Amino acid sequence: MELKRVVVTGIGAVSPLGNTAPETWENIKKGVSGAGPITKFDTALFKTKFACEVKNFNASEFIDRKSANKMDIYTQYAMVSAMEAVKDSGMNLEVVDKNRIGVVFGVGIGGINTFETEVSNYALHETDGPKYSPFFIPKMIADIAAGYISIQFGFHGPNFTTTSACASSTHALAVAMDLIRLGKADAIVAGGSEAAIWPTGVGGFNALHALSTRNDDPEHASRPFSASRDGFIMGEGSATLIFEELEHAKARGAKIYGEVAGAGMSADAYHITASHPEGLGAALVMESALADAGMNPDEIDYINVHGTSTHVGDISEAKAIQQVFGDHAYKLNISSTKSMTGHMLGAAGAIEAMISLLSVKEDIVPPTINHEEGDNDPEIDYNLNFTFNKAQKRTVRAALSNTFGFGGHNACIIMKKYKE
């Protein structure tokens, strides 16, 4: 069976760097940090007091207020990014076969704000019995964003959510690609969303010692591959990509951003939160993606790394890249855009796949910001080009995007230039 080709025809984003895909991408290229003091709750008693929050977001500008009130904010982000992507695709919803269009969305945690609020309200009324909202469960559950998106557009094709911590939305993209490759759908609205900047989210990651505590300098706190890194910054938001079967896209005259070349999946099978110190799972997932795409390592020009700014994670990923790419590792560009967006958890894979796609389209590699001269970790080889501090123009034939999640879940996807 010959696999069908998959292209990207629409994108949308709500991120700490902008509430649209173009605004996000422009700030990514400029090396803008999305970090700042947390405004969503009082952080006085928290070890970490900053994050990469979405700014100036008003769901009622896009969704009627009554409907928006029934959604957790992670679903609101998902809806807005999906609406932008569908519009950007130019798809005529009066003509396409909606039975052949699906939604696959990645979510790491889901409605943590709703859960936290409802549990707090119940505690306040414990003498009178439960006082939960009838919308508690449908607002909280991780699959509901995909459901809302399908309802919004009337898409009757495959519809579900992937949950694999920080690899969630890359798994969503990989599955969406395969559904189209195998002829089970003409198009998939694929992406991810997360909104965990709440007391339970920040407090929980603080308890794991995973977050940076550089409270006096939030904008420079995320510093992947630097010796002084002390943890990741929590981000939030959503990104959506419209994956479409090539002939279906061509038949309707769609613009094509690039082609989805292949994807890989693996497990560290090592530790519930720490990556394998030698990067074994990371190496395997990149090798798997290259094999799936039918590509050689020297055909990749850019890797958007997981690069969270944690001690073990950054070292193991750099080792894995050297293992997989050999001498070519020193000829390609590497960058961690989490240095700007923060770690968007379940949405990280989608936003970084979008960035990788635009890097391929525009031949520009975004930077890894916040590296200071001499701030070098002896366990990292700085002959690798981490694209520190400034974007770099170069031909980008193909880009690989890595995501690794708690539980040892690894996923990556390859975007390449579209050619007839």
Query: Among all residues, which ones are annotated catalytic?
Result: 166, 306, 343
Buried b (16+ CB within 10 A) or exposed e, 30-66: ebbbbbeebebeebeebbbbbbbbbeebebeebbeee
Rounded CA gap, 54 and 396, in Å?
Answer: 29
Structure tokens given for 79: 């809806």
| Contact between residue 168 and residue 192 where contact means Cβ atoms under 8 Å apart | yes
Interaxial angle between packed helices 21-30 and 73-89, expressed in degrees from 0 to 180 and rounded to the nearest 10:
100
d(CA 171, CA 258): 19
Spell out a b/e string for 357-386, using b for 16 or more CB atoms within 10 Å of the CB, else e. bbbbbeebbbbbbbbeeeeebeebeeebbb
Write out the E strands in 247-326.
258-267, 302-304
CB atoms within 10 A of CB 182: 11
- Tokens 């409802």: give the residue: 118
CB 350 within 8 A of CB 241: yes
Q: Which residues contact 54 (CB under 8 A, 6 or more apart)?
A: 14, 15, 16, 19, 77, 195, 236, 237
DSSP assignment string, 327-383: GGGGTSEEE-THHHH-B-GGGHHHHHHHHHHHHHHHTEE--B----TT---TTS-TT
Strands (E), 67-196: 101-107, 159-162, 187-194
Give the angle subtended at the CA of 399 by the CAs of 394 and 400, to the nearest 5°.
Answer: 145
